[in-house]
């Protein structure tokens, strides 16, 4: 037994140290396993606490999604005030934990997903484990007490936190830490939503508004599949929603799905703007004046009162999505749920309480889709046989637009429902919504693309400049030069009549031996005794040279090493000076190269 154990360890060690792909295979599976266990604990904790507080305590008989009915207990006596009291208690506990453990740490943004995005771009993948532990614990209580929030933000943050902890123990580089952060988040998402591919795709595309983190995709898929498998070992493989076998069959219905994309875009813009208005105009001023605890208490009180009046707004709302998919909700109920969930989510997450934005956004999108489907069926009944399909398409289109994530939500909805027959309308509506929501985004810390991310600053500069040559940005011209024996007056006369800042110094062999700058001359200008005695040889400094065939990446490194504003460019055969390259030329070339890559200027 020990022989096989030693052999396995030796093979794993060889795989780790000599094969990068093998290393990420190990990391993906290991991180996914940890995330899967975390997701299982997270799921049980929410379901158990919600059963105690909402079902038994408050007496709310809320519907559940078909694949998420973990506990069944009789409904308690109606005591709606229990939700209000529970939410206020959660607000107090959240304020205490944040002040005690997270004081002075960077702000989280919109939710746990936004914290993940900020950590990737601006903190080199370093995530203090206290952040996900506190946020996940308080999110469990917030959701279980009836708060309108989702699970994906806390769960992606928990997976990312475990990955960051693992990265610290393994001594990974900043680039590797960032990738492992996404691998952990993908595992958390894939497990909690039972959507391994959608979880991986969402993790790598939610960082940017117009880009993907492609390098993290394969290990993220490995992590997500592993986490899903661990989660499914406890709870089975049944999808969250049970859906009839809907199939898209008539092309004449496509314009209606495109219209749904536009409606989802409009609703999404209203959703985001209302959320930001509530956060900045109501809760932020309260937090600034009275402290974060007061803001959370205000949000908890508002959510509690809403839930007392309209119990359907409590919790994540997947049960009502299930009813909408089954066609069991009237049109006015769909509309009221969309509006009410927007208000409730703003009260909870806008006030600083913990939770995710994905589940509320899915519900709002699904309800909007249901309304459009019912209206379309009344107007053109011959085209719309199943208005319930618009619920599913609306879920993906709504979130794709506001999260700037065209692929992940689409695939995730397919996996949430095991319904792939609507792939064409899902793609169309999501694309239309994404295009129409171009200036609207849910997550504060998203950046446009890799060019705007500090995570890729070094490689972006190098990749752009490696394609450009010195010759393309050099204007050949006579260059004022000095000889090693040039006196001080000759140097000053040359500088007075020139616009250059660097003056090459030639030796007796005619080759460049260095350079003299304005600063060098200025340093001895007021030394009356020394001035007549100084020659160029006395103050010459080392000066790297370039050739016309050098790339601008090499030129930039030589500018950095020498700290000179200009460098001489030499003919590679004769060694004569053909011009000076300005440091500003390199920066302008970089700016133009970035603009060309983005398509902002004609080639």
Q: Per residue, what are the HEC states of 441-508?
A: CCCCCCECCHHHCHHHHHHHHHHHHHCCEHHHHCCCCCCCCEECCCEHHHHHHHHHCCCCCEEEEECC
Q: Which is more confident, 464 or 486? A: 486
Per CATH, the number for 251-452 is: 1.10.3080.10
The fraction of the chain above a pLDDT of 70, given in percent, is 92
The fraction of the chain above a pLDDT of 90, given in percent, is 57
Burial 166-175 (b: 16+ CB within 10 A, else e): bbeeeebeee
Backbone angles phi and psi of 325, in degrees to 5: -65, -35
pLDDT at 85: 97
Write down the residue that tokens 């469990």 correspond to.
140
| Distance from the first to the final alpha carbon of the chain | 65
Question: pLDDT category, 4, cuts 50, 70, 90?
Answer: very low
Q: Give the list of residues 6+ apart from residue 282 with CB closer than 8 angstroms, or none.
A: 298, 350
Q: Does pLDDT of 528 surpass 70?
A: no
Specify the pairing of strand 482-483 against strand 502-506. Answer: parallel
Q: Give the list of residues 6+ apart from residue 190 with CB closer than 8 angstroms, or none.
A: 32, 35, 196, 197, 198, 199, 200, 223, 224, 225, 227, 228
Question: pLDDT category, 2, cuts 50, 70, 90?
Answer: very low
Q: Does pLDDT of 17 surpass 70?
A: no
Q: Does pLDDT of 278 surpass 70?
A: yes
Closest CA to 552 of 479, 472, 476, 477: 472
pLDDT in tens, 104-134: 666 555 578 888 998 998 888 899 889 999 9
Question: pLDDT category, 142, cuts 50, 70, 90?
Answer: very high
Mean pLDDT, residues 380-405: 93
**DSSP secondary-structure letter at 253?**
G
Question: pLDDT category, 15, cuts 50, 70, 90?
Answer: low
pLDDT at 194: 92
pLDDT in tens, 553-588: 889 888 888 888 999 999 988 888 999 999 888 888
pLDDT at 86: 97
Distance CA 50, CA 378 (A): 39
Q: Does pLDDT of 375 surpass 90?
A: yes
Q: Which is more confident, 385 or 52? A: 52
Q: What angle do CA 365, 370, 373 make, to 5 degrees?
A: 125
Question: pLDDT category, 3, cuts 50, 70, 90?
Answer: very low
Mean pLDDT, residues 180-196: 95
pLDDT at 29: 94
pLDDT at 89: 97
Q: Where are the alpha helices (DSSP H) in 504-551?
A: 518-522, 536-539
Q: Does pLDDT of 510 surpass 80?
A: yes
Residue 56 half-sphere exposure toward CB, CA atoms < 13 A: 12
Tell how far CA 170 is from the center of its chain.
24
How far from 44 is each of 116, 217, 232, CA to CA, in Å? Answer: 23, 29, 13
pLDDT at 452: 76
Q: Which of 308-322, 507-521, 586-600 has the lowest mean pLDDT?
A: 586-600
Backbone angles phi and psi of 335, in degrees to 5: -65, -45
**251-452 and 460-598, same CATH topology:** no
Tell how far CA 551 is from the center of its chain.
33
How far from 133 is each of 185, 297, 348, CA to CA, in Å? Answer: 14, 21, 19
Query: Domain boundaries in the chain?
Result: 23-235, 251-452, 460-598
pLDDT in tens, 81-106: 999 999 999 999 999 999 998 876 66
How far from 296 is each of 2, 47, 327, CA to CA, in Å? Answer: 56, 23, 36
What is residue 56's three-state secondary structure? helix
pLDDT in tens, 231-272: 999 999 889 998 888 888 889 999 999 999 999 999 999 999
Contact 117, 404 (CB under 8 A): no
Distance CA 252, CA 254 (A): 6
Question: Mean pLDDT of all residues in the chain?
Answer: 88
Total count of residues recorded for the chain: 603
Closest CA to 388 of 409, 402, 367, 406: 367
Residue 11 token pair = 């093979």
Contact 283, 350 (CB under 8 A): yes
Give the largest Cα separation in the chain, rounded. Answer: 102
How far from 88 is each of 49, 200, 302, 316, 572, CA to CA, in Å? Answer: 16, 35, 10, 18, 76
pLDDT at 197: 94
What is residue 546's three-state secondary structure? strand
Closest CA to 520 of 497, 488, 568, 496: 488
Residue 519 token pair = 């600063």
Selected from 3.30.1330.20, 3.30.70.2080, 3.10.580.10, 3.40.190.10, the CATH number assigned to the domain covering 460-598 reads 3.10.580.10
Contact 541, 523 (CB under 8 A): no
Q: Which is more confident, 310 or 9? A: 310
Domain 23-235 belongs in CATH node 3.30.450.20? no
What does the radius of gyration of the chain's CA atoms come to, in whole angstroms?
A: 31
Residue 45 gets the label, from left (phi > 0), alpha (psi -120 to 50) or beta, of alpha
pLDDT at 459: 64
pLDDT in tens, 326-363: 999 999 999 999 999 999 999 999 999 999 999 999 99
Residue 190 half-sphere exposure toward CB, CA atoms < 13 A: 39
Question: pLDDT category, 600, cuts 50, 70, 90?
Answer: low
């Amino acid at each position: 037994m020990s022989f096989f154990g030693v052999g396995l360890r030796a093979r794993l060690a060889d795989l780790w140290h000599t094969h990068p792909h093998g290393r990420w295979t190990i990391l993906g599976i290991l991180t996914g396993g940890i995330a899967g266990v975390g997701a299982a604990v997270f799921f049980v904790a929410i379901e158990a606490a919600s059963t105690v507080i909402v079902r038994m305590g408050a007496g709310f008989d809320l519907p559940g999604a078909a694949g998420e009915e973990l506990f069944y207990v009789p409904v308690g006596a109606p005591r709606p005030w229990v939700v209000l009291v529970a939410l206020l208690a959660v607000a107090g506990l959240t304020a205490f934990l944040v002040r005690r453990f997270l004081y002075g740490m960077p702000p989280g943004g919109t939710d746990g997903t936004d914290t993940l995005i900020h950590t990737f771009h601006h903190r080199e993948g370093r995530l203090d484990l206290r952040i996900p532990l506190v946020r996940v614990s308080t999110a469990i209580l917030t959701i279980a007490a009836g708060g309108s929030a989702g699970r994906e933000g806390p769960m992606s943050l928990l997976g990312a936190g475990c990955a960051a902890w693992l990265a610290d123990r393994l001594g990974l580089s900043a680039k590797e830490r960032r990738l492992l952060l996404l691998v952990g988040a993908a595992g958390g998402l894939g497990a909690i939503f039972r959507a391994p591919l959608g979880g991986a795709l969402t993790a790598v595309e939610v960082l940017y508004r117009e880009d993907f983190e492609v390098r993290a995709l394969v290990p993220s898929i490995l992590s997500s599949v592993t986490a899903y498998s661990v989660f499914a070992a406890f709870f089975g493989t049944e999808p969250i929603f049970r859906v009839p076998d809907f199939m898209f069959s008539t092309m004449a219905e496509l314009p209606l799905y495109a219209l749904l994309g536009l409606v989802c875009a409009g609703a999404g813009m209203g959703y985001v703007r209302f959320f930001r208005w509530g956060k900045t105009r109501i809760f932020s001023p309260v937090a600034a004046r009275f402290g974060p605890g007061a803001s959370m208490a205000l949000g908890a009180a508002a959510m509690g009162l809403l839930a007392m009046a309209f119990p359907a707004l409590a919790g994540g709302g997947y049960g009502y999505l299930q009813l909408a998919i089954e066609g069991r909700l009237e049109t006015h109920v769909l509309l009221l749920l969309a509006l009410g969930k927007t208000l409730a989510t703003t009260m909870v997450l806008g006030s600083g309480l913990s939770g995710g934005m994905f589940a509320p956004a899915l519900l709002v999108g699904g309800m909007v889709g249901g309304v459009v489907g019912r209206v379309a069926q009344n107007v053109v009944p011959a085209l719309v046989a199943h208005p319930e399909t618009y619920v599913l398409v609306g879920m993906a289109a709504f979130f794709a637009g506001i999260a700037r994530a065209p692929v992940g939500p689409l695939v995730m909805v397919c996996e949430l429902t095991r319904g792939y027959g609507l792939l064409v309308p899902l793609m169309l509506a999501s694309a239309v919504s994404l295009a129409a929501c171009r200036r609207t985004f849910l997550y504060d810390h998203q950046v446009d693309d890799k060019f705007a991310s500090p995570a890729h600053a070094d490689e972006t500069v190098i990749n752009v400049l490696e394609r450009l040559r010195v010759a393309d940005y050099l204007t050949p011209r006579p260059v004022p030069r000095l000889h090693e024996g040039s006196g001080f007056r000759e140097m000053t006369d040359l500088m007075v009549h020139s616009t250059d800042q660097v003056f090459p110094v030639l030796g007796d062999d005619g080759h460049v031996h260095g350079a003299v700058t304005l600063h060098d001359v200025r340093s001895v200008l007021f030394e009356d005794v020394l001035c007549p005695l100084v020659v160029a040889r006395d103050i010459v400094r080392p000066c790297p040279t370039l050739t016309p065939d050098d790339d601008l990446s090499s030129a930039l490194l030589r500018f950095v090493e020498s700290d000179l504003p200009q460098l001489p460019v030499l003919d590679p055969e004769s060694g004569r000076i053909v011009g000076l390259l300005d440091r500003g030329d390199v920066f302008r070339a970089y700016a133009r190269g970035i603009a060309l890559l983005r398509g902002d200027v004609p080639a």
